[in-house]
Amino acid sequence: MTRNAVLITGASSGIGAASVRRMAARGWTVYAAARRLDRLAALERANVHPLPLDLTDDASICAAVDDLASDGGVSAIVNNAGYGSYGAVEDVPLAEARRQFEVNLFGAARLIQLALPQLRRAERPRIVNISSVGGRIHEPFGAWYHATKFALEGFSDCLRMELKPFGIDVCVVQPGGIRTEWGGIARDSLLASSGTGVYAPWARRHAGMLDNTQAAGWLSDPDVIARAIEQALTARHPRTRYATGAGARPLLLLRSLLSDRLFDAMMWRGSQAQRNSGFDLWPATAPSPLPQP
């Protein structure tokens, strides 16, 4: 198979939608996958094909891959779909934790399993997994989200080695701060899980940080990540990792330089700074998790 055809999951908004537009403009055949096809209407053009896909439903994944095969197959997959489920480990139901893994890891893995025969027939086949700086760093109340991204990073490294004999490159993209719906979803899930109860003072403060971060002007446009995805798909010798977007490289550098305890303190301080931001969820009597300097 010599045609350039890519499946992009989570294509209805944000990074996924920007990637669909960029690869379609480059002349690739793009299969834009999402649970809700009505949200893909704005992306429709001659070489963009909407594809229904629910990563928590194995039958949906199988049907999508069958549709791709009947249409000539793909030469690349961009596993972009994902969301952030936040809340204290004690508060988040395991059913929600499992759903987080289904969407962010197991759905992508199942898609790869089924599509590999198509990729082996392609010229310069690629798998691009969208991780996060959250696949290398940590923060309070993000245990399940970060667990999925840490897992996706390790999964991608092992997969890259397994598929090398077949000439299939596996790349990881690690976005930093991006203007998408992600932050609002993470904030809402954090408040729903831990906005009341024993973790409430710290959880509500951290929700303030998530909210203010999303409102900040320094976040990168989703197209910044779409450009990295384009590079991963088209470079003759792609890098194994692309860290880009607001704060991505500085955060990863700090994580490599600081001890676990110092990095913990830095992340708590970032959350604590919301106390002076005027964010209305901050409880005035909340205790500090760290001694004041």
Query: For position 1, what pLDDT does the model report?
Result: 61
pTM score, whole prediction: 0.90
Query: For position 215, what pLDDT does the model report?
Result: 65
The partner residues of 30 in beta bridges, in order of sequence, read 6, 48
Rounded Cα gap, residues 114 and 65, in angstroms: 7
Q: What letter does residue 103 receive in the DSSP assignment? A: I
**Average confidence score pLDDT of the chain:** 90
What pLDDT, in 10s, does the model give residues 252-289? Answer: 999 999 999 999 999 888 766 554 444 333 333 333 34
| Dihedral sign of CA atoms 102, 103, 105, 111 in order | positive
What pLDDT, in 10s, does the model give residues 144-167? Answer: 999 999 999 999 999 999 999 999
Quote the domain boundaries for residue 253: 5-276
Query: For position 272, what pLDDT does the model report?
Result: 61
Q: What percent of the chain has pLDDT over 70?
A: 90
Nearest residue to 53 (alpha-carbon basis) of 2, 120, 114, 121: 114
173 pLDDT above the threshold of 60:
yes
Cβ proximity of 35 and 26 under 8 Å? no
Q: Considering the domain boundaries, does residue 289 fall inside one?
A: no
Average pLDDT estimate for 17-28: 96
Rounded Cα gap, residues 220 and 244, in angstroms: 9
Q: Considering the domain boundaries, does residue 282 fall inside one?
A: no
pLDDT band at 291 (very low <50, low <70, confident <90, very high): very low
What pLDDT, in 10s, does the model give residues 203-249? Answer: 999 998 888 776 667 789 999 999 999 999 999 999 999 999 999 99
Q: Considering the domain boundaries, does residue 124 fall inside one?
A: yes
Cβ proximity of 149 and 86 under 8 Å? no
Rounded Cα gap, residues 279 and 203, in angstroms: 13
Query: For position 51, what pLDDT does the model report?
Result: 95
Q: Considering the domain boundaries, does residue 285 fall inside one?
A: no
Nearest residue to 143 (alpha-carbon basis) of 284, 250, 270, 267: 267
Number of domains in the chain: 1
Q: Considering the domain boundaries, does residue 293 fall inside one?
A: no
Give the gyration radius of the chain's Cα atoms: 20
Cβ neighbours of residue 154 closer than 8 Å, sequence gap 6 or more: none
Q: Which helix (H) or strand (E) holds 120?
A: helix 107-120
Q: Considering the domain boundaries, does residue 284 fall inside one?
A: no
Q: Considering the domain boundaries, does residue 292 fall inside one?
A: no
- Residues classed as catalytic: 12, 131, 145, 149
User: Could you tell me the CA-to-CA distances from 159 to 61, 67, 94, 98, 100 in Å, in that order?
Assistant: 19, 24, 27, 22, 21
Average pLDDT estimate for 132-145: 96
Looking up tokens 């089924």, which residue turns up?
A: 114
Q: Considering the domain boundaries, does residue 264 fall inside one?
A: yes
CATH number at residue 65: 3.40.50.720
Average pLDDT estimate for 193-204: 95
Cβ proximity of 119 and 78 under 8 Å? no
User: Could you tell me the CA-to-CA distances from 261 to 139, 173, 174, 270 in Å, in that order?
Assistant: 12, 27, 23, 14
56 pLDDT above the threshold of 60:
yes
